[in-house]
Amino acid sequence: MNYQKTIRTPISLTGVALHSGAAVSLRLLPAPVDSGIRFRRVDLDPVVEIPAHVSQVTETTLATVLGREGVEVSTVEHCLAALHGLGVDNAVVEVDGPELPILDGSALPYVEAILEAGWECLGGARRRLRVTKPIRVSDGDKYVLLRPHRGYRISYSIEFEGRFPGDQHYYLDVTPESFALELALARTFGFLADVEFLRSMGKARGGSLENAVVLDGNAVLNPEGLRTADEMVRHKMLDAIGDLALAGHAIDGHLIVHKGGHALHTELVRALLARPDAWELVDETAPIDRPVPAPTWREPVYAYA
């Protein structure tokens, strides 16, 4: 049997919120068995706690937003991806504002901090949500599909017809090791031509070349270039892992996505949980307490179409 895990010691991170541009402080705290991941708005009196569950999703435009009793916490996907990807089942995420810090635009700062803090085994068995029948959600030519599979596998494809980065595809069997080494590094990305429009909507006000990959025509504007040539599709996979963590359990299944995003990811989770005949909860037996290597990446790639 594999046991549930939490982080061993508290973690503190600070940064800017991607969309509001506000300075934000965050703390990750250990949590007891069967408590799951919970976000806590500590800037409010009384403090409001929001479970990381798809039933709490209030918005999916450019970020995944959770809400409860009129209180929201935004841009939770990278933090959830790091916790879920590394196999941390229980934690409290304290934040002093309505949006998590974007940090460097990836899950890497979270992963490095969690690996430094270490994790602690708790008393309860870790359970996985094992997909037993296919579940599919689509929107035009965009779709997400979960198929039965032992383990967590993701096949993801993106298309940007007529503009860089074009078509990208990536496939991964997700484990703590593969997440840390192959996905955690991938940063959020956007197009320079969209920046002014997004800011007029109150979005991307904290965005910069320090926390996002910015594309202009065929060029990558970040002076250091890309961390991998396929960084964009890897980041979409990272987002999907964070969004599917809102099922409340680690997943056994093959996730296949074409041109997905937060809206389709979370709609898939809703569709899955609404079909109890299509899944079962099983005790996890494969150990995930092996040492996880420190994340790294190849030399920067200056990518042009």
Q: Which residues are catalytic?
A: 262
| Integer CA distances (angstroms), 217 to 191, 258, 269, in order | 8, 23, 35
* Other CB atoms within 10 A of residue 129 CB: 21
For residue 283, the SS3 value is strand
What amino acid occupies position 75? T
SS3 category, 200: helix
Nearest to 77 by CA among 236, 205, 231: 236
Cα separation, 77 vs 84, in Å, equals 10
Q: Whose CA is closest to 237, among 217, 255, 263? A: 255
Distance CA 53, CA 248 (A): 6
Q: Which helix (H) or strand (E) holds 222?
A: none
Indicate the Cα dihedral angle 282, 284, 286, 288, nearest 10°.
150
Two structure tokens written together for 121: 């085994």
Contact (Cβ atoms closer than 8 angstroms) between residue 238 and residue 81: yes
* Pairwise CA distance, residues 237 & 171, whole Å: 9
- Which conformational region is residue 286 in: left (phi greater than 0), alpha (psi within -120 to 50 degrees), or beta? beta
